[in-house]
Amino acid sequence: PVDKTLYLTFDDGPVPGATEFVLHTLARFSAKATFFCIGDNIRKHPDIFARILADGHAVGNHTYHHLNGWRTDAHRYVSDVYACDTEMQQHAYVLPAGQPRLFRPPYGRIARRQIRALHDDYKIVMWDVLSMDYDHTQAPHHCLLHTVNATRDGSIIVFHDSYKAERSMTFALPRYIEHFLSRGYTFKSLY
C-alpha cells in the first residue's frame, strides 16, 4: 500500500542564508524535515539551530568537522561524532523520548570499524535520492528534474543547506515540494 510519505533531509548546516531559506520554505508548505547538522556550524550559528528545533524539525548528527570516514581513523571519527552530540546538547537539543539518535556519515562514507563503534548509540541514516544540488556542472532545473524522477513513495531525499548547493537548492526545493504536495504526498521528519 502506498502511504504517500516522503522524508526530506538536509545536510551540512546550519548556516545563514541557505538554512534560513530551507526553514522558510518548509514553513510555507507546512512540511517537516530532518537536518543532519555539523557540530562546528551549530557552534557558529546557534540561533539558526534553535530555529530548526523551534520549528519542530528532527535533527541528526553529521560529525563535528564533516569528516570523510574513509580517510579518518576510527578513534578520531567516533570522537568527532560525539563532539557534535555535545555541541547539540549545549544548545538545548533534547532527543525525543523513545527515539534513536540519528547519524549520517558525510559523503556517505563510513568504515566498518566506525559503524561497529557507533552502532549501539546511533541509527545510521543514508538516502535513496541524492539531489546533486552541490554539482555546479548541473543546471538547477536538471537538479529538480533528476530529483523528482528518482523519488518513490517512502524515499529519503538529500538536499544540502550549504553555500555550495544554494543556487540549485533554492531553485529546486520549493518546486520539488509543490510537485509532490499536488500529488497528495506529505513530508515528514524521520522522528
DSSP string, 34-76: EEEE-HHHHHH-HHHHHHHHHTT-EEEE--SS---GGGS-HHH
Locus of grid cell 546538547: 89
The secondary structure of residue 74, as a DSSP letter, is H
Q: Are strands 186-187 and 5-11 parallel, antiparallel or unpaired?
A: parallel
CA distance 30 to 187: 8
The residue type found at 98 is G
141, three cell numbers: 532545473
| Helix residue spans in the chain (DSSP H) | 18-28, 39-44, 46-54, 74-90, 112-118, 140-150, 166-181
- Please identify every residue annotated as catalytic: 11, 160
Q: Under the phi-then-psi rule, with left for phi > 0, alpha for psi from -120 to 50, and beta for the rest, what region is 17?
A: left
Would the CA dihedral through 182, 22, 110, 136 be positive or negative?
positive
